[in-house]
Amino acid sequence: MPSNKSVSDAPIVQFTNCRILRGHQLQREDLWVREGKILNPEKLFFDEKGSADIQLDCKDSIIAPGFIDVQINGGFGVDFSLATDDFKSGIDLVSQKILSHGVTSFCPTLVTSPPSVYHQVLPQFSIRNGGAHGAGILGAHLEGPFISKEKKGAHPEHCLRTFEAGAFQDLLATYGSLDCVRIVTLAPEMKRSSEVIQELTKRGICVSLGHSVANLSQAEEAVQHGATFITHLFNAMLPFHHRDPGIVGLLTSDKIPAGRTVFYGMISDGIHTNPAALRIAHRAHPKGLVLVTDAIAGMGLAPGRHTLGQQVVEIDGLNTYIAGTKTLSGSVATMDTCVRHFQEATGCSVETALEAASLHPAQLLGIEHKKGTLNYDSDADFLMLNDGLYVQATYIAGEEVWRQDALGM
């Protein structure tokens, strides 16, 4: 057998009998992996004269990039917005459990909280690669407290804040540190929000618009200052109105800077957004749609009472409400469920449904050169799925980290 040791001693794994999502379509070809990266087989054959050390028959599975969840508040009894001494073990548990739902990277999300919570919790965050221990952590998503009282949703009103004279210093004082922060959701109609958006963007932090009563021109101004995301479109914002479509109008705005894409999160659980609204958004701006779970601590648990930060929530089936009200408070849907519901509700292709949970969030975070695709040299974070888009196995850096047992296939 020709030697491939000249480049690396690491074993080369060839995944055969599969359909790979590459170049926006499922292609019947093999996937080659070495040292956690996806290989170009032509270079391997012709430059290295190499071949596979291990061949794995995928039994006609779909191979797609791992899912990336940029808005997840917790799950399996863990609430990321609760300051606890064993916060690290909670985040480890969630990162392990979401592997079975195809999530290979995520942004743990904190809802509006008192400064003391941010000061205690954020230093315990660390950005890390995924592996057998669980999904990779891309950085925190801080949703609030600089949001609108009128559209607070499940966020506690007594913790909401506005920007005072030293707007960015206010934000720093509230959070304590931005070291591991990847996304900040704020309401763009707030005074002095423009300077905050510019400062966050300068630091490579993605600014998302949400929990807001902004009109379209305020939303467009925020995008011109650097905002690139909309937090759970339709939820906690002014409803679409034909004379002023508000934040929703960004999907078809002609005031977006050239070369910029505005992405938007959708909670595709069949509850937060009517399937018709999901279809409208997708048809208006398909390349910007990012599936998010907005999952809370009750995801994966039995119905009953659970927490979301400072609030008590009640789970009834797939509905989650602030206790004693009919205010929706996050979701208990898993990412693979959201992908399947999205495809069913919109009638989109399998490729489109999978990219909304992988390529688009990677593009939003500017990491599409290594995550969210199966291009050569990108990270070998991928899923095996059946034709019904049920996850059969999850791989991170080319290593199997979860597999559906034989009984569940």
Q: Quote the longest CA-to-CA distance of the chain.
A: 70
Closest CA to 249 of 223, 276, 287: 223
Q: Backbone dihedral region of 294: left (phi > 0), alpha (psi from -120 to 50 degrees) or beta?
A: left
What pLDDT was estimated at residue 4? Answer: 45
What pLDDT was estimated at residue 338? Answer: 98
Q: Does 243 appear as a known binding residue?
A: yes
The CATH number of 13-64+373-403, from 2.30.40.10, 3.30.1330.60, 3.30.565.10, 1.10.10.10, is: 2.30.40.10
- Are 328 and 317 a contacting pair, CB within 8 Å? no
Q: pLDDT per position in the chain (409 positions), as tens?
A: 444 445 678 999 999 999 999 999 999 999 999 999 999 999 988 988 889 999 999 999 999 999 999 999 999 999 999 999 889 999 999 999 999 999 999 999 999 999 999 999 999 999 999 999 999 999 999 999 999 999 999 999 999 999 998 999 999 999 999 999 999 999 999 999 999 999 999 999 999 999 999 999 999 999 999 999 999 999 999 999 999 999 999 999 999 999 999 999 999 999 999 999 999 999 999 999 999 999 999 999 999 999 999 999 999 888 899 999 999 999 999 999 999 999 999 999 999 999 999 999 999 999 999 999 999 999 999 999 999 999 999 999 999 999 998 544 4
What pLDDT was estimated at residue 7? Answer: 63
What pLDDT was estimated at residue 332? Answer: 95
What pLDDT was estimated at residue 9? Answer: 83
Contacts of 194 (CB under 8 A, 6+ apart): 221, 222, 225
What distance in Å separates the CA atoms of residue 194 and residue 213, rounded to the nearest whole number? 16
Q: Does 328 appear as a known binding residue?
A: yes
What distance in Å separates the CA atoms of residue 13 and residue 55, rounded to the nearest whole number? 6
Q: State which amino acid sits at residue 335.
A: M
Contacts of 1 (CB under 8 A, 6+ apart): 51
Choose, from 294, 336, 379, 381, the residue flagged as catalytic.
294
Domain spanning 66-365, CATH architecture: Alpha-Beta Barrel (3.20)
Q: Does 276 appear as a known binding residue?
A: no
Q: Does 217 appear as a known binding residue?
A: no
Q: How far apart are the first and last CA of the chain?
A: 35
- Are 332 and 306 a contacting pair, CB within 8 Å? no
Q: Does 330 appear as a known binding residue?
A: yes
Q: Does 272 appear as a known binding residue?
A: yes
What distance in Å separates the CA atoms of residue 271 and residue 255, rounded to the nearest whole number? 31
Q: Is 150 helix (H, G, I), strand (E, B) or coil?
A: coil
List, by residue range, all CATH 2.30.40.10 domains of the chain: 13-64+373-403
List, by residue range, all CATH 3.20.20.140 domains of the chain: 66-365
Active site residue 254: no
What distance in Å separates the CA atoms of residue 109 and residue 331, rounded to the nearest whole number? 13
Which tokens sit at 350?
């399998």
